[in-house]
Amino acid sequence: MELGLLYEFDAPQPWAGEHPWGQRVAERTAYRDNIEQIVLADKMGFEAVWLVEHHFRENRSHMPCNEVVLGALSQITERIKLGFGVALMPHEFIHPARVAEKVATVDVLSKGRAIWGMGRSTPMEQIAFGVDIASSKEKLKAAAKSVVGMWEEEFYEEHSEYLDFPKRMVTPKPYQYPHPPAWMAASSESSATMAGENGCGLLCFSIMQPLDRLKEIIDTYREAQKSAVPLTSVHTNKVGVYTLVHCAETRDDFGTNRL
């Protein structure tokens, strides 16, 4: 088992002051404190740190540009892997070329420590960006194939249902060859099936659902992997489970600290 960390850069209310300064101070503190923790995690031997991409999720997540923070972390950490947890993929969020560029840039800066997690986000965010929710899963898969092509081919061209892209060299190419390992976020059996069928790692959650439900999702993923047709030669068959923990010296301290 490998231990990693996932950060959303939460800035929970109440903020210490009215608009416009309360929010600004809370966010500055969140960024400073979380980056300090990640640097310590690198020194302590944690395997990876994952940074989310969320938009308009006040209190819970103030992290819309994970590639910027991962790029900064690449220069102040030495060994910890740097995960996009996740990069939003449907075309209304971002052009596939931009995903290819930002993930590869972090990989180059970190000398091959990037991990490419991908997802569709929440309905709240999809609506704000004009994402067609009904087609978002198919668009994620299509965009992922485009990104892989942009990394693996010297020049890439595509004319498809979701993308009309002339022949271009997408730069930079990733430090890892042919590219960083690919993971997919999943909270349902259908998404777990897609991750397994495409040879991607599975990012799932132990919060807000019983463990029996989590087992069903992982079992579905393992079954889908048996007939996988990987997106790429980089075949990942690992499962990552996000959970919440509370750190304390003793069990008695845990009861006191969380009050």
Q: For 199-218, how does the pLDDT look when each residue is reduced to its tens digit (9 = 90+)?
A: 999 999 888 888 999 999 99
Residue 233: the pLDDT is 86
Residue 58 C-alpha from the chain's centroid: 18
Q: How far apart are CA 99 and CA 61, in angstroms?
A: 20
The total of structural domains in the chain comes to 1
Domain with residue 57: its CATH number is 3.20.20.30
- The residues near 117 (Cβ < 8 Å, ≥ 6 apart) are 50, 83, 84, 85, 86, 87, 182, 183, 184, 185, 201, 203
Report which of residues 82 and 207 the model is more confident about. 82
Cβ 180 vs Cβ 114: under 8 Å: yes
**Domain housing 218:** 4-257
- CA distances in angstroms from 4 to 46, 49, 81, 161, listed in the order given: 5, 6, 9, 37
Average pLDDT along the chain? 95
> Considering the entire predicted model, what is its pTM?
0.94
Residue 259: the pLDDT is 46
